[in-house]
Amino acid sequence: MKSTLIATMLALSLLSMNVFAHGDDGHAKADDKQEGHAAPMGVPGDASKVVKTIEIDMNDAMRFTPATISIKRGETVKFVVKNTGQVKHEIVLGSILELKEHAALMIKFPEMEHSDPNQVSVEPGKTGELIWQFNKAGTFDFACLQPGHFEAGMRGNIVVK
């Protein structure tokens, strides 16, 4: 009985520590849509508001086709991303600094998985989709952050006018 009580107390204390330690940092708030990755270029898009679809090919030559994309400010774009290569590729939207930092992390932790709205990972022979609303003008970046792919030149840019 005493060991059951101790085990129960330990389990409850661990659960409560996890709840209190987490805070609100991981919870999205309605007004926080622009915070986080790729926020300077826009926000995750609403599929019902897509005005333009752009097809992008990713391949084992470590290139995106097209590598430069032009978009009008305010447009919600659906990227249809096809991996015609034999290895996993991804497209991640962000500033060049964010992408460089994340690429370095991917080399250290190659099994790291993503689920951010500014990226999509695609297995060989498969197709993925990414919907984004570009609400700021400027030139922005995208890249494949699979280990070694960014360093091999697998990146491009988006010009928003």
pLDDT digits (tens, 9 = 90+) for 73-116: 999 999 999 999 999 999 999 988 888 887 777 777 767 676 78
Q: Is the peptide bond before 66 cis (omega within 30 degrees of 0)?
A: yes
User: For 57, which DSSP code?
Assistant: E
Backbone torsions φ then ψ of 142, nearest 5 degrees: -145, 155
Confidence (pLDDT) at 37: 57
Cα–Cα distance, 156 to 104 (Å, whole number): 18
Is 101 among the domain residues?
yes
Confidence (pLDDT) at 96: 87
Cα–Cα distance, 153 to 64 (Å, whole number): 9
Is 90 among the domain residues?
yes
Is 42 among the domain residues?
yes
Domain CATH for 95:
2.60.40.420
Confidence (pLDDT) at 100: 85
Q: Where are the alpha helices (DSSP H) in the chain?
A: 2-22, 96-108
User: For 135, which DSSP code?
Assistant: -
Burial class (CB in 10 A: 0-12, 13-18, 19+), 80: middle
Confidence (pLDDT) at 25: 33
Beta partners for residue 131, in sequence order: 78
User: What is the span of the domain harbouring residue 141?
Assistant: 30-160
Could you tell me which of 151, 143, 85 has the C-alpha nearest to residue 119?
Answer: 143
Confidence (pLDDT) at 35: 46
Is 70 among the domain residues?
yes
Low-confidence ranges of the chain (pLDDT < 70): 1-38, 110, 112, 114
Confidence (pLDDT) at 101: 84
Q: How many domains does the chain have?
A: 1
Confidence (pLDDT) at 36: 53
Question: Which residues of 22-124 form beta strands (DSSP E)?
Answer: 43-44, 52-59, 63-65, 68-71, 76-83, 89-94, 119-122
Confidence (pLDDT) at 6: 38
Confidence (pLDDT) at 119: 92
Is 14 among the domain residues?
no
